[in-house]
Amino acid sequence: MLRRPRRNRQSAAIRQLVQETTLNVQDFIFPLFLTAGSNKKEEIKSMPNIFRFSADLLLEEIAACRDLGLLNFALFPHFQEELKDSIGSLSYQPDNMYLQAIRQIKQHFPEVSIITDVALDPYSSDGHDGIVQDGQILNDETLEVLGKMALAQAQAGATIVAPSDMMDGRVQHIRTVLDEQGFTNVAIMAYTAKYASAFYGPFRDALDSAPRHGDKKTYQMNPANVKEALIEADLDFFEGADFLMVKPALSYLDVIKTLADNYALPIAAYNVSGEYAMVKAAAQKGWLDNDKTMYEILLSIRRAGAKVILSYFAKEFAEGRKMGKF
Ligand code: PBG
């Protein structure tokens, strides 16, 4: 035998030497949930160890994460039902809780970047990402709201706006609005290939944002398709996106790979709530080893070609890294 691949696996030192993919704390974006009030830290039932924070405690959480080397946060708001309406108008009122919190964060931690979510669902009484009329999701009418929302977020201090709504033409519309108002430096992370997935369940629990009627299949992608992701990626690229995202991550590693092979933009992957919940549930039962499973999953997302990982595991990974675990 001239070829014995085991030679390169014989010790930890050699294994590390030939390791092709690595994980770095700075590759992560940590999603955080914001809720109204003060001194609130509510655990999300289907996401152990993930919380909805009021703004004051959110600042403390961000300080703790920053000390671990995490500098990028995707922030999602949880609004009370009474504040929602059919066009999500709360989303661009400059004094809303979300925009206020962004201002506070940027004041306290100018070095961190805040990635904001651009979509109607946290503000919509219909729980959809776009405006609903007679059971249809209106595309072009929704763009107007998305533009206003993205602008309000940029004005509040967002570093990156991340449209997760899957309306056609939204990247171009948002880019145009931002540029017209002088926010040429605010980047766009497009949810390029966002699939109509069952893995978003726990997130919708976190935000009480499940669609009241129907599903999201007329705008989010069909899990069966990958070529279609190239159409979405082409559009986002030429409409001015700075990052292309695939979401969820694990059932879509081939999509991550396809985009990474075909586009020079940094590819982000969203390791979503349901993917987190599965590991946590199995680990709580003693059926899976939490740390090893987490590490393997995160590694697989990077190996597939993601430069950036949005993950609820980000803080846990950063803590483990600090303790020399990973
Ligand atoms: C909605 C949005 C969703 C997620 C991020 N933004 C849910 C959805 O599309 O219904 C899901 C994130 C997760 O599951 O972790 N605009």
Question: Could you give all domains of the chain from N- to C-terminal order, each with its CATH number?
Answer: 22-322 (3.20.20.70)
User: How does strand 41-44 pair with strand 47-54?
Assistant: antiparallel
Q: Could you tell me the sign of the dihedral formed by the alpha carbons of 139, 260, 247, 179, in that order?
A: negative
**pLDDT value at residue 219:** 98
The answer to whether the beta carbons of residues 253 and 280 sit under 8 Å apart is: no
pLDDT tens digit sequence for 165-215: 999 999 999 999 999 999 999 999 999 999 999 999 999 989 989 999 999
Give the Å distance between the CA of 189 and the centre of ligand 1.
Answer: 14
Give the Å distance between the CA of 268 and the centre of ligand 1.
Answer: 15
Q: Tell me the catalytic residues.
A: 194, 247
Has this prediction a pTM greater than 0.75? yes
Cα gap 250→271, rounded to integer Å: 7
Cα gap 244→237, rounded to integer Å: 8
Average pLDDT over residues 290-316: 98
Cα gap 258→256, rounded to integer Å: 6
- Which ligand 1 atom is at minimum distance from the Cα of 310? 15
The answer to whether the beta carbons of residues 8 and 18 sit under 8 Å apart is: yes
Average pLDDT over residues 85-101: 97
What HEC string does the chain produce? CCCCHHHHHCCHHHHHHCCCCCCCHHHEEEEEEEECCCCCEEEECCEEEEEEEEHHHHHHHHHHHHHCCCCEEEEEECCCHHHCECCCHHHHCCCCHHHHHHHHHHHHCCCCEEEEEECCCCCECCCCCCEEECCEEEHHHHHHHHHHHHHHHHHHCCCEEEECCCCCCHHHHHHHHHHHCCCCCCEEEEEEEEECCHHHHHHHHHHCCCCCCCCCCCCCECCCCCHHHHHHHHHHHHHCCCEEEEECCHHHHHHHHHHHHHCCCCEEEEECHHHHHHHHHHHHCCCCCHHHHHHHHHHHHHHHCCCEEEECCHHHHHHHHHCCCC
Q: Which two tokens stand for residue 287?
A: 């059926």
Ligand 1 close to Cβ of residue 203 (< 6 A)? yes
**pLDDT value at residue 67:** 98
In degrees, to the nearest 5, what angle opens at C-alpha 206 toward C-alphas 271 and 326? 35
pLDDT tens digit sequence for 222-272: 999 999 999 999 999 999 999 999 999 999 999 999 999 999 999 999 999
Average pLDDT over the chain, rounded to an integer: 97
**pLDDT value at residue 237:** 98
Percentage of residues in the chain having pLDDT higher than 90: 98
Percentage of residues in the chain having pLDDT higher than 70: 100
Residue 82: exposure state from Cβ atoms within 10 A (0-12, 13-18, ≥19): exposed
Average pLDDT over residues 113-137: 97
**Confidence grade of residue 305 (pLDDT, cut at 50, 70, 90):** very high
Ligand 1 close to Cβ of residue 272 (< 6 A)? yes
Q: Residue whose CA is closest, atom 10 of ligand 1?
A: 200
Ligand 1 close to Cβ of residue 164 (< 6 A)? yes
Give the Å distance between the CA of 197 and the centre of ligand 1.
Answer: 9
